[in-house]
């Protein structure tokens, strides 16, 4: 049941990667998570603002296309719009900007479908269905204090061959988190049920959706606090107020 629930979350998440140089793009210099939502008939890509603020181009790295070798499609995403929220950190020197980033997804998806069809002609892939799944639920829900469990999932960089020589990508995730409150800027705090696994485990989870037990998105991963076993989340309900007002 847990795996099915995690797969549901992962189905509308995408990998975002950036490179120091486009001359060598085998290994990303950074990675993050985005997710696709349908709002008023339009698909949007949402992610954490500190991801999009990097002064580089980010790419959507597709799921593994050839199961016997590592082959992916990388499509540039953006341009992003940003909405500032505030800062998180133990001190002014350590504070990190907290904001949302979003862009329309249709052009990105069309380019993805075009590239993937080329792979069929080249004999690299046999897959013929390229539509990226997207979230269609509410965007105006907020977490409930010390009540129901919350979860997140994101694809990370862990990839390995299984015993039948199939290449598999693994996620990072947390389930059964408890919402324990928010700060004066509206940043949500989710308490982990187990000890914080260290930042290497969560690397790339920025921008991942946090959902309630019914799968409704209530927040977005911004970071965490290892000492206090916390995940920081953005108030996703703010998106429903601004997406309709943008026209990228």
Give yes or no for residue 211 having a pLDDT over 70. yes
Give yes or no for residue 226 having a pLDDT over 80. yes
Distance CA 103, CA 43 (A): 9
Locate tokens 């829900």: which residue?
A: 141
pLDDT at site 87: 62
Both tokens of 32, joined, read 């993050």
pLDDT at site 248: 44
* Nearest CA-CA partner of 86 in 94, 77, 96, 76: 96
The runs of H, that is alpha helices, within the chain are 2-11, 49-52, 106-121, 199-202, 239-242
- Condensed to tens digits (0 to 9), the pLDDT of residues 191-206 reads 999 999 988 888 889 9
Locate tokens 């061959």: which residue?
A: 161
- Condensed to tens digits (0 to 9), the pLDDT of residues 13-35 reads 999 988 766 555 567 778 899 99
Residue 125: CA count within 13 A, CB half-sphere: 21
Q: In angstroms, what CA-CA distances link 151 with 115, 166, 209, 236?
A: 33, 28, 8, 14
pTM, two decimals, is 0.87
CB atoms within 10 A of CB 166: 11
pLDDT at site 135: 95
Query: In terms of CATH architecture, what is 2-245?
Result: Beta Barrel (2.40)
- Condensed to tens digits (0 to 9), the pLDDT of residues 107-146 reads 898 888 888 888 778 777 666 556 789 999 999 999 999 7
Residue ranges of domains in the chain: 2-245
Give yes or no for residue 93 having a pLDDT over 60. no
pLDDT at site 96: 57
* Contact status, residue 16 vs residue 60, Cβ threshold 8 Å: yes
pLDDT at site 151: 96
């Amino acid at each position: 049941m847990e795996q099915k629930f995690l797969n549901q979350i992962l189905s509308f998440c995408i990998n975002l990667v950036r490179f120091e140089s486009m001359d060598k793009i085998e290994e990303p210099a950074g990675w993050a998570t985005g997710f696709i939502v349908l709002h008023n008939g339009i698909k949007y890509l949402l992610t954490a603002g500190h991801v999009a603020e990097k002064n580089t181009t980010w790419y959507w790295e597709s799921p593994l296309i050839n199961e016997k070798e590592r082959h992916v499609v990388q499509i540039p995403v953006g341009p992003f719009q940003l909405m500032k929220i505030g800062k998180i950190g133990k001190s002014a020197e350590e504070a990190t900007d907290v904001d949302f980033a979003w862009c329309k997804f249709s052009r990105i998806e069309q380019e993805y479908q075009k590239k993937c069809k080329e792979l069929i002609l080249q004999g690299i892939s046999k897959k013929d269905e390229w539509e990226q799944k997207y979230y269609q639920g509410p965007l105006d829900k907020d977490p409930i204090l010390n009540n129901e469990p919350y979860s997140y999932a994101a694809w990370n960089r862990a990839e390995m061959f299984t015993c039948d020589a199939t290449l598999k990508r693994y996620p990072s995730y947390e389930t059964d988190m408890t919402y324990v409150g928010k700060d004066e800027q509206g940043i949500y705090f989710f308490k982990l049920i187990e000890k914080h696994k260290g930042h290497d485990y969560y690397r790339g989870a920025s921008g991942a959706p946090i959902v309630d037990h019914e799968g409704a998105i209530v927040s977005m991963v911004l970071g965490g606090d290892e000492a206090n076993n916390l995940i920081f989340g953005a108030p996703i309900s703010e998106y429903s107020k601004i997406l309709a007002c943008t026209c990228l």
